[in-house]
């Protein structure tokens, strides 16, 4: 097996043992090293945002649990016939916006919009107004939690992809380019050494032939 074949054996990527390939690998390595810090920064930013979203999620979840605990005291009254219309607590529109974190678009809960309630103040129990207000607050908190959970899931997926890319550059692309450069340099160095050796041998042969002709 030739030296070139030995060098190629075990390499994950097929490479050409030439000066052109050497430049190509050096350019690729430079690009990988320039792009890697950007990916690492993005990974850190996403991790920090996930932590921030979890804090917000815990706060919203605590508020929701407190609101539901308070509503449980009078929830049984909702079953009274003709006392409460469930449509009063159903949002007409859920308003959301978005924000960009490290190139990732995240949903942001703004508010729930409800239709105006109309009912006979004289025929309805006094607790209905409070019930509507508290139930709407619960619905809004639930939607807030849902949007936060959606955002965390988006961030987790992006973190997984970004981590894979970081690992690809750190553990595959950069080491492969470095190894390719090392092997090509060795091969080119051997070729140059062999060429120098052949040149010296040819020179000695010429000198020997010339000396023999002179002494003949």
Q: What is the pLDDT of residues 100-111, one digit of tens each?
A: 999 999 999 999
**Residue 69: is it exposed, middle or buried by C-beta count within 10 angstroms (0-12/13-18/19+)?**
exposed
- pLDDT at res. 127: 66
Q: Which of 19, 17, 21, 28 is nearest to 172 (CA)?
A: 28
pLDDT(9) > 90: no
| Mean pLDDT, rounded, for 17-22 | 90
Q: Is 53 helix (H, G, I), strand (E, B) or coil?
A: helix
Q: Which of 1, 11, 27, 137 is nearest to 71 (CA)?
A: 137
> Pick the residue with more confidence: 45 or 198?
45
Rounded-to-integer distance, Cα 27 and Cα 33, Å = 10
Q: Is 95 helix (H, G, I), strand (E, B) or coil?
A: strand
Span 111-145, pLDDT tens digits: 999 988 766 555 565 667 778 888 899 999 999 99
DSSP 8-state secondary structure symbol assigned to residue 101 = E
> Pick the residue with more confidence: 16 or 121?
16
pLDDT(208) > 70: no
- pLDDT at res. 190: 79
pLDDT(30) > 80: yes
Q: Say if residues 162 and 37 touch (Cβ distance below 8 Å).
A: no
Span 75-93, pLDDT tens digits: 665 655 555 667 778 999 9
- pLDDT at res. 79: 59
Rounded-to-integer distance, Cα 205 and Cα 72, Å = 106
Q: Say if residues 21 and 151 touch (Cβ distance below 8 Å).
A: no
List Cβ neighbours of 158 (8 Å cut-off, separation of 6 or more). Answer: 46, 102, 104
- pLDDT at res. 205: 61
CATH class of the domain at 3-215: mainly alpha
Rounded-to-integer distance, Cα 136 and Cα 58, Å = 20
Span 153-184, pLDDT tens digits: 999 999 999 999 999 999 999 999 999 999 99
Q: Which of 121, 143, 147 is nearest to 132 (CA)?
A: 121
Phi, psi of 134 (to 5 degrees): -70, -40
Span 31-67, pLDDT tens digits: 999 999 999 999 999 999 999 999 999 999 999 999 9
């Amino acid at each position: 097996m030739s030296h070139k074949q030995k060098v190629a054996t075990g390499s994950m990527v097929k490479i050409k043992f030439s000066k052109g390939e050497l430049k190509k690998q050096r350019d690729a390595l430079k690009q990988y090293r320039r792009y890697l810090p950007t990916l690492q920064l993005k990974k850190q930013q996403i991790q920090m945002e996930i932590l921030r979203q979890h804090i917000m999620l815990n706060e919203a979840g605590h508020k929701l649990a407190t609101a539901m605990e308070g509503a449980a005291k009078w929830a049984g009254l909702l079953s009274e016939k003709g006392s409460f219309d469930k449509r009063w607590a159903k949002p007409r529109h859920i308003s959301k916006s978005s924000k960009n974190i490290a190139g990732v678009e995240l949903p942001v809960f703004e508010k729930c919009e409800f239709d105006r309630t109309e009912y006979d103040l004289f025929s309805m129990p006094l607790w209905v107004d409070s019930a509507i207000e508290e139930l709407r607050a619960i619905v809004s908190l639930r939607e807030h939690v849902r949007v936060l959970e959606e955002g965390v899931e988006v961030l987790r997926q992006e973190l997984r992809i970004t981590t894979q890319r970081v690992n690809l550059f750190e553990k595959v692309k950069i080491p492969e380019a470095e190894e390719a450069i090392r092997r090509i340099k060795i091969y080119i160095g051997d070729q140059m050494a062999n060429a120098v050796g052949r040149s010296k041998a040819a020179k000695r042969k010429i000198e020997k032939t010339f000396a023999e002709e002179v002494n003949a």
